[in-house]
Chain A
Amino acid sequence: MNPADLPTQLHLDGALRGDALLAAVRHIAQGPLAAQVEAIDRTGYYPCAELQQLAAVGAMSAHLDSTAGPADYGLAIRAMAEASRVCGATGFMMWCQAVCGLYLQQSGNLALVGDVLERHASGAGMGGTALSNPMKSYAQIESLLLKATPVEGGYLVNGTLPWVSNLGPDHYCGAIAAVVEADGNTSQREVMFLLRCDAPGVELRECPSFSAMEGTGTYALRLKDHFIGTAEIMADPTRTFIARIRAAFVMLQCGMAVGITQGAIDSMWAVEAQLGHVNQFLEDRPDALQAELDALTARVMQLAQTPFDTSTDFFIDVLDARAHGAELCLRAAQSALMHQGARGYLMSSDVQRRVRESHFVAIVTPAIKHLRKEIARLSIEEMPA
């Protein structure tokens, strides 16, 4: 066997694992990240340096097989939760970075699993995911916005994607386009590729302001005759690839929900000594929410043992855990505001910011309504058409 044919081992320097990683993430989250949270929320500061610090300790690569150890989805989710507990927007960008790494590694494309993935995992390269539209397309909620026309050696891609996060002029993302046949008709086939923001035919466009997510490097991406060749292809066709990674993709988002919920519970306890005598009249008290969160976290950790289980029942379970996370996050953030009262309503308070972050967890793809629709679709007994 030719050694060059062997899959490249992802080499990671300085990446931590286990409790050491969680301690390091907590240290960054409560230190440098906490210092920037207000700027991220209010002035749209993109926390590139803070994200790179998180990446350097291995916070966005724990779910990848590497020299640091085998893929550990539970650890990746808990790391994301530690950051989300302080800043939901940063937790979201960690998810973007993490799933982009997942695409790169799972592509098996030698042009992507070497230097590109190594730079990505270390934080030297940063990127996101433009799969909101394709995921809704696979769930039969909307149609694909990018079209790829086959040409010599690759495809020319055209179209515009709204609202892709963790982007910047030198960033990139995983994207999917519908393949257009020679006769101009859209085929039933798609192609997935690495889309570099600085490549010819790619334009980043500013979006209107986003609630709680202004600092997430979110842009519209406009593609005009953008060429992709074999060096960019992640999957062609995509169906099997998506079937393999979809549970991992959704599961990782649970880190945001768990962390934001924990942050909300923290802020309820913070006022318990002074306000417990009135807060006892509220529903969703911190101890009850904590018990529900702990049960959900245990469920997610169990699912994280087998992220690449492709069975329908497993995927339904993952979708429901993600939905439960979003619902709990909404209730906890809302209740935290009720617990804190006026002090939580100040624009400088993390409590009101967390209400907006919880809304984001509930509406980002897959939103609660998408999750329920997809669970319903997958639950129906299949019969001859």
Chain B
Amino acid sequence: MTAAAPAPAHPQFSASEFALRAASQALRDAFAGDADGAVATPWQSYICNACGYIYNEADGDPDGGLPPGTRLADIPDDWACPLCGVTKADFSPYEAPTLEALRAQASAAPAASIRVRGEPGVVIVGAGRAGWQLAETLRQHSATLPVTLVTACAGDRYDKPLLSVAMARQLDPLALVSETGRDAAQRLGLTLLAHTHAVRICADTRQLRTTRGVLRYGHLVLAHGARAALPPGLSPKMCWRINHLDAYQRLRQRLGSQPKDVLIIGAGLIGSELANDLALGGHRITLLDTAAEPLARWHDQKAGPQLLDAWKDLSIRFEGGLQVQQVERVGLRYRVTTTSGRRFAADEVVVAAGLLPPNRLAQGAGLAWANGIAVDSTTLQTSVSGIHALGDCISIDGQCSRYIEPIARQARTLAAAILGQPVTPYEHRAAVVRVKTTTRPMTLH
């Protein structure tokens, strides 16, 4: 470490300004003593809530008729803020923060800043498995290509499938992160724009508009995944949807350590795994589905009966053939009513009714859409040049695939295409599904 001169307390002021300030402070101190020489309350500063003007009692507001040394209490009610005209009623006590405190506050902000010059490189929207996998693959083949990752969340890396087995494996939800976004970005030498929302693609100028400014791109890759669907009529304020670490952590925090009644709407893969895991964690589960059995998609492999059999000793009540009509708050609990008039009470309601990719970005850019962002089955190119997509947000021949296995192969195809290397065409094939219901794991085809 090199020896550095002590940092000035206020580096933005020159030495002569400091001397002036010191002199005026001495004057203020002299004013602050009362007639008997006793030290009175130090001068206070107040900030205008409307415009940010700072009134210092020592300085007063001579232009506004307040001589130096006028206390806030002594300011007449009709005095006006010299900048915006509000009265002293709209002022609050103010203590100037140190520059160090301000710097600390600014560095806690999540985002890196946007590069405005140089090669635009690759911009990836989404920092889930697909986004990070592509970034890793690109880096393996090019050490210099500028890569920017834009994500609405913190960008921390974790294995999403663990969200449905965390209780059984006694994993602390806060410890599911395997690498923070910041660390991964540093390791891979890329720019991570965390807590940043991609708002609109301007394909004609190759720009991505975000909530932290405009990014130019050479290649744009959409890897923003899908959102948990919420059936019409259900309020997002009352129903959890577990498709991200953040929501999962908050649900776990809410459930706390005491057993709770949890009602899960949807007994597909996610709903069944969550039911299994939360029951193993000691909660009482009611699992509803429109179909007569859980995992009805795999009816011909008898997945449902096997699962129900495995759950015999768990506190999971499955109710099939029910369509939820309404969720209401009743006191501190919720009442769930079905179209057939059945009612259930629960402490928390979780909806696991499938995934839908958000379509605003794609539609704004005029990308072809078929249940997801339509991509070429071999190149993963969208209908607009320079824009590609992979992972949960895409559809191939109208079919979506929401599994982990294809992502690495998709990333290899895309990275080669972006880097102008020989491309191994992506091959779309049916996925094998492993049901992580730990009481009886199953493999389905």
Contact = CB atoms under 8 A, between A and B. Distances in A.
Interface stretch (A46-54, A67-75, A241-249, A377-385): A377-385
Contacts of B236: 381-383
A34 interface: no
Interface stretch (A8-16, A76-84, A186-194, A316-324): A316-324
B292 interface: no
A160 B211 contact: no
A383 B238 CA distance: 7
Contact of B237 (A292, A317, A373, A384): A384
B333 interface: no
Interface string A116-147: 00000000000000000100000000110100
Interface string A159-170: 111110000000
B202 to A, nearest CB: 7
A220 interface: yes
A327 interface: yes
A316 B85 contact: no
Residue among B84, B89, B205 facing the most chain A CB atoms (10 A cut-off): B84
Contact of A381 (B90, B195, B204, B247): B247
Contacts of B364: 317
Contacts of A380: 152
A160 B250 contact: no
Nearest to A295: B204
A53 to B, nearest CB: 31
Nearest to A380: B152
A222 interface: yes
B384 interface: no
Contacts, number: 96
A171 interface: no
Nearest to A323: B209
A372 B254 contact: no
Interface string A262-302: 00000000000000000000000000000110010000000
Interface in B89-133: 89-90
Nearest to A378: B197
B21 interface: no
A313 interface: yes
B231 to A, nearest CB: 15
Interface in B187-234: 195-197, 199-200, 202, 204-205, 209, 211-212, 214, 227
A327 B214 contact: yes
A184 interface: no
A205 B238 CA distance: 48
Interface residues of A, number: 36
Given A376-B195, A381-B227, A383-B247, A220 B85 contact: yes
A133 B152 contact: no
Contact of A375 (B82, B89, B197, B239): B197
Contacts of A324: 200, 209
A384 B227 contact: no
Contacts of B205: 292
Interface of B is mostly: loop
B85 A205 contact: yes
B252 interface: no
Given A162-B51, A383-B250, A384-B240, A320 B86 contact: no
Chain B's interface size range is 35 or more
B50 interface: yes
A207 B84 CA distance: 6
A30 B147 CA distance: 48
Contacts of A317: 200, 360, 364
B84 A375 contact: no
Given A145-B86, A295-B202, A376-B195, A133 B50 contact: yes
**B50, B85, B152, B241: most-surrounded residue (chain A CB, <10 A):** B85
B137 interface: no
B171 interface: no
A3 interface: no
Interface in A302-339: 313, 316-317, 320, 323-324, 327
A375 B199 contact: yes
Contacts of B50: 133, 145, 160-162
Given A205-B80, A375-B199, A220 B214 contact: no
Contacts of B244: 381
B83 interface: yes
B204 A160 contact: no
B199 A320 contact: yes
B85 A162 contact: yes
B186 interface: no
Given A161-B50, A381-B247, A384-B240, 19 more contacts: A145-B49, A145-B50, A145-B86, A161-B86, A220-B86, A222-B85, A292-B205, A316-B199, A372-B212, A375-B199, A375-B211, A376-B196, A376-B197, A379-B199, A381-B244, A382-B237, A383-B236, A383-B247, A385-B237
Interface of A: 133, 142-143, 145, 159-163, 205, 207-208, 219-220, 222, 291-292, 295, 313, 316-317, 320, 323-324, 327, 372-373, 375-376, 379-385
22 contacts: A145-B49, A159-B86, A159-B89, A161-B86, A162-B50, A162-B81, A162-B85, A208-B82, A219-B85, A220-B80, A220-B85, A220-B86, A324-B200, A327-B214, A373-B211, A379-B197, A379-B199, A381-B236, A384-B238, A384-B239, A384-B348, A385-B237
Interface of B: 49-51, 80-87, 89-90, 152, 195-197, 199-200, 202, 204-205, 209, 211-212, 214, 227, 236-241, 244, 247, 250, 254, 348, 360, 364
